[in-house]
């Protein structure tokens, strides 16, 4: 009987047999990319995506790295495009399956080239998809609406992609980096977006999918930030089972509330979850069998490999202590067994670790709630200060409550070890990014705004097995406020704010706890915080606010962004009668639009510091070549 491995063909998926013959034996050890082999999976995915794809039906499909081509053929059958261009670098491997696909429809055409080396996508689009008024035209209107001077959506083109993972440690061009490049060119209206912003359905390894759609603010690196900047819709359509270890950082209460809102959206939209496609429940951390002298309430959190090891210790020691002979003994013997278990050193150490971990989680949970209360009180202060009849005397009790809570939080911090609170800033930032408007519908992270939970992909539905991939759908937002402001600048003035945005996104990768105060001091060293909040009103959202000594003589004017809807919300606007402090606000908690507003203010200020120098001042490692600074005058 032959040994079953990840390359063994399965009878229920006939495509696995064809792929098994396509890959040479010598190459099977290094293949790290799986192909979808389940027609049922494709059908379920497209049933979920059809409202998005058919709302503005694409005319053409550009298919990058199609591989086995099963999903490509299913998408083709759904949208019936005029042209479907397949570009497969590994044509020697996939020729048998792709050539039969190309022969089945006249709309298909098959090319082979190294996609990573393509520099002029505009020329490639003009060559592969000619004579299309949307995907191939000349002049300024190619990527922008000539009337409104901002990028426009190109609904005629749909891009399918399945970038392979890097197979060498020297190759840093991961699928997440390819997505970052795709989003960056979407912001600049270049590359694949030269004739308008296009939609994308991409297959990614789970780690890269979470890099593009960050679950927490701590994972909000360059790919995620760029995606947020340009996306109207960005969500996982289907994915393998997720261990959900990121819940440890985000906090169970926030994750559970968000999941409840997603379930509500699913019901409101009448979305049906196919049988067997529900995500499995998250495995929970165990409760300690011996809470010790200082018992704390159990805090829900996901199970980790550490918990598995501790449970193995507890189970093995319990079996060793409790023998069959002792089960039939008297009550006195059972008491001896209990004492023996309590004194067992291995069991005792495991309980101590569990108790300590639960105690730290409880401390973070309580401090996070206090910070949320502090943010709400600060919001109330903003609204009260905007009242024309408010005086320093009437507002002082509220200011005193805020000051007292700050002191209580500081005292609480002092009572806990650093290990208990080092993850707390992530939970605080996640709550701010998700609930800044009071609900999840306006959350900064696309993951928190997802319309539904991803469908579950079973291990056997991808081949070879054990290297699963997730499917992510992206739809650009041609009405993005941030991009509208960027593209109001003359073309020769856009490069500096875009490169500063790039520097910020790269700095977040190495300095996750970078504060807004540190950022503003580096970018605008001579300007006060109040002056900068006036210039970028959205900075007021999470800023600490206090009553100035001369509150009663200052005007109660509220300043918002030029395109901010009326009436203005004082909590997210600049108020002349308040003082602002951004010391405890981290950059990763700001929206992508606010970060781009800072970059635009940098452009208006006429600063002469190069992007490379600025990135190094922020603690990043951006080189002048990576920034492209040698291409522009600094």
pLDDT at 591 over 60: yes
Q: Are residues 395 and 461 part of one domain?
A: no
Residue 143: how many CB atoms within 10 A of its CB? 23
> How far is Cα 444 from Cα 427, in angstroms, rounded to an integer?
14
Mean pLDDT of 519-538: 92
Mean pLDDT of 567-596: 94
pLDDT at 344 over 80: no
Q: Are residues 625 and 558 part of one domain?
A: yes
User: Minimum mean pLDDT among 94-98, 402-406, 450-454, 472-476: which range?
Assistant: 94-98
Buried b (16+ CB within 10 A) or exposed e, 513-523: ebbbbbbbebb
> How sure is the predictor about 623, in pLDDT bands with cuts at 50, 70 and 90?
low
Say if residues 529 and 581 touch (Cβ distance below 8 Å): yes
> How far is Cα 245 from Cα 38, in angstroms, rounded to an integer?
28
Q: Are residues 605 and 497 part of one domain?
A: yes
Helix and strand totals (H; E) in the chain: 24, 16
pLDDT at 625: 47
Say if 444 falls within a structural domain: no
Q: Are residues 472 and 408 part of one domain?
A: no
Instruction: For the full predicted model, state whether its pTM sits above 0.85.
Output: yes
End position of a domain, from candidates 408, 443, 476: 476
Could you give the residue ranges of the DSSP H alpha helices within 293-415?
305-321, 324-327, 331-343, 345-385, 392-414
Q: Are residues 233 and 91 part of one domain?
A: yes
Mean pLDDT of 225-238: 95
Q: Which residue has the higher pLDDT, 134 or 111?
A: 111
pLDDT at 424: 94
Phi/psi at 456 (nearest 5 deg)? -80, 125
> How sure is the predictor about 136, in pLDDT bands with cuts at 50, 70 and 90?
very low
Residue (of 487, 455, 450) closest to 468 by Cα position: 455
> How far is Cα 102 from Cα 112, in angstroms, rounded to an integer?
13
> How sure is the predictor about 631, in pLDDT bands with cuts at 50, 70 and 90?
very low
Mean pLDDT of 286-302: 90
> How sure is the predictor about 417, in pLDDT bands with cuts at 50, 70 and 90?
confident
Mean pLDDT of 340-362: 84
Say if residues 135 and 154 touch (Cβ distance below 8 Å): yes
Which range of residues forms the domain containing residue 359? 305-435
Nearest-5° Cα angle at 531, 527 to 536: 110
Q: Which residues pair with 85 in a beta bridge?
A: 62, 109
Nearest-5° Cα angle at 37, 35 to 39: 135
Burial of 128 (0-12, 13-18, 19+ CB in 10 A): middle
pLDDT at 79 over 50: yes
Say if 267 falls within a structural domain: no
Q: Are residues 486 and 357 part of one domain?
A: no
Q: Are residues 487 and 467 part of one domain?
A: no
pLDDT at 387 over 50: yes
Q: Which residues pair with 201 in a beta bridge?
A: 160, 473
Q: Are residues 461 and 372 part of one domain?
A: no
CATH number of the structural domain spanning residue 157:
3.40.50.150
For residue range 154-209, list pLDDT tens digits in order: 999 999 999 999 877 777 789 999 999 999 999 888 999 999 999 999 999 999 99
Say if residues 185 and 191 touch (Cβ distance below 8 Å): yes
pLDDT at 632 over 60: no
Say if 297 falls within a structural domain: no
Say if 277 falls within a structural domain: no
Length of the chain in residues, anyone? Answer: 634
Burial of 56 (0-12, 13-18, 19+ CB in 10 A): middle
**Average pLDDT of every residue of the chain:** 87
Q: Are residues 505 and 383 part of one domain?
A: no
Q: Are residues 598 and 487 part of one domain?
A: yes
pLDDT at 364 over 70: yes
pLDDT at 175: 94
Strands (E), 513-556: 544-546
pLDDT at 320: 64
Percent of the chain with pLDDT over 70: 88
Say if 617 falls within a structural domain: yes
Say if 296 falls within a structural domain: no
**How would you classify residue 60: left for phi > 0, otherwise alpha for psi between -120 and 50, otherwise beta?**
beta
Say if 152 falls within a structural domain: yes
> How sure is the predictor about 626, in pLDDT bands with cuts at 50, 70 and 90?
low
pLDDT at 11 over 80: yes
> How sure is the predictor about 490, in pLDDT bands with cuts at 50, 70 and 90?
confident
Q: Are residues 204 and 104 part of one domain?
A: yes
Residue (of 99, 90, 112, 101) closest to 31 by Cα position: 90
Count of structural domains within the chain: 3
Residue (of 157, 77, 89, 205) closest to 472 by Cα position: 205
pLDDT at 138: 39
pLDDT at 501: 86
For residue range 424-438, list pLDDT tens digits in order: 999 999 999 999 999
For residue range 533-578, list pLDDT tens digits in order: 999 999 999 999 999 999 999 999 999 887 787 889 999 999 999 9
Say if 406 falls within a structural domain: yes
Q: Are residues 337 and 218 part of one domain?
A: no
């Amino acid at each position: 009987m032959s040994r079953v491995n990840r390359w063994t063909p399965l009878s229920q998926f006939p495509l696995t047999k064809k792929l098994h013959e396509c890959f040479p034996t010598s190459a099977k050890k290094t293949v790290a990319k799986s192909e979808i082999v389940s027609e049922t999976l494709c059908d379920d995915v497209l049933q979920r995506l059809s409202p998005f794809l058919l709302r503005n039906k694409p005319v053409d499909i550009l298919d990058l790295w199609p591989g086995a081509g099963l999903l490509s053929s299913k998408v083709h059958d759904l949208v019936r495009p005029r042209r479907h261009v397949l570009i497969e670098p590994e044509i020697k491997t996939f020729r048998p399956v792709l050539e039969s696909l190309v022969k089945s429809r006249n709309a298909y055409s098959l090319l082979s080239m190294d996609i990573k080396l393509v520099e002029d996508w505009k020329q490639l689009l003009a060559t592969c998809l000619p004579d299309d008024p949307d995907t191939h035209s000349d002049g300024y209107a190619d990527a922008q609406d000539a009337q409104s001077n901002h990028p426009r959506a190109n609904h005629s083109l749909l891009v399918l992609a399945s970038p392979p993972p890097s197979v060498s440690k020297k190759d840093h061009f991961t699928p997440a980096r390819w997505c970052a490049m795709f989003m960056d060119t979407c912001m600049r209206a270049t590359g694949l977006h030269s004739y308008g912003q296009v939609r994308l359905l991409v297959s990614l390894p789970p780690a890269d999918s979470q890099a593009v759609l960050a679950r927490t603010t701590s994972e909000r690196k360059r790919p995620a930030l760029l995606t947020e900047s340009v996306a109207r819709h960005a969500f996982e359509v289907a994915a393998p089972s997720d261990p959900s270890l990121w819940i440890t950082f985000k906090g169970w209460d926030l994750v559970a509330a968000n999941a409840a809102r997603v379930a509500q959206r699913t019901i409101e939209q009448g979305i049906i979850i196919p049988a067997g496609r529900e995500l499995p429940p998250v495995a929970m951390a165990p409760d300690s069998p011996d809470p010790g002298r200082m018992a704390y309430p159990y805090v829900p959190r996901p199970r980790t490999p550490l918990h598995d090891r501790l449970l193995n210790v507890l189970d093995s020691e319990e079996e060793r202590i409790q023998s069959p002979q002792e089960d039939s003994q008297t009550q006195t013997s059972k008491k001896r067994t209990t004492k023996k278990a309590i004194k067992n050193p291995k069991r005792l150490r495991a309980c101590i670790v569990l108790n300590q971990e639960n105690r730290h989680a409880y401390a973070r949970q309580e401090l996070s709630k206090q910070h949320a209360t502090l943010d709400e009180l600060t919001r109330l202060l903003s609204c009260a200060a905007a009242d024309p009849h408010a005086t320093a005397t009437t507002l002082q009790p509220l200011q005193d409550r805020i000051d007292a809570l700050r002191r209580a939080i500081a005292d609480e911090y002092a009572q806990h070890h650093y290990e208990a609170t080092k993850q707390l800033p992530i939970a605080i930032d996640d709550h701010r990014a998700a609930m800044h408007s009071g609900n999840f519908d306006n959350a900064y992270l696309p993951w928190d705004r997802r319309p539904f939970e991803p469908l579950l992909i079973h291990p056997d539905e991808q081949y070879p097995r054990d290297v699963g991939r997730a499917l992510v759908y992206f739809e650009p937002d041609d009405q993005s406020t941030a991009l509208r402001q960027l593209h109001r600048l003359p073309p020769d003035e856009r490069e500096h704010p875009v490169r500063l945005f790039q520097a910020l996104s790269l700095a977040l990768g190495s300095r996750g706890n970078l504060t807004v105060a540190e950022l503003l001091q580096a970018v605008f060293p001579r300007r006060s915080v109040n002056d900068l909040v006036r210039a970028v009103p959205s900075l007021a959202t999470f800023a600490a606010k206090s009553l100035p000594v001369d509150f009663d003589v200052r005007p109660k004017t509220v300043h918002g962004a030029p395109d901010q809807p009326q009436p203005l919300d004082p909590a997210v606007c600049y108020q002349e009668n308040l003082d602002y402090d951004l010391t405890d606000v981290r950059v990763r908690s700001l929206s992508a639009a606010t970060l781009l507003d800072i970059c635009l203010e940098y452009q208006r200020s006429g600063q002469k510091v190069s992007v490379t120098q600025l990135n190094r001042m922020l603690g990043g490692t951006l080189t002048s070549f990576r920034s492209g600074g040698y291409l522009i005058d600094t």
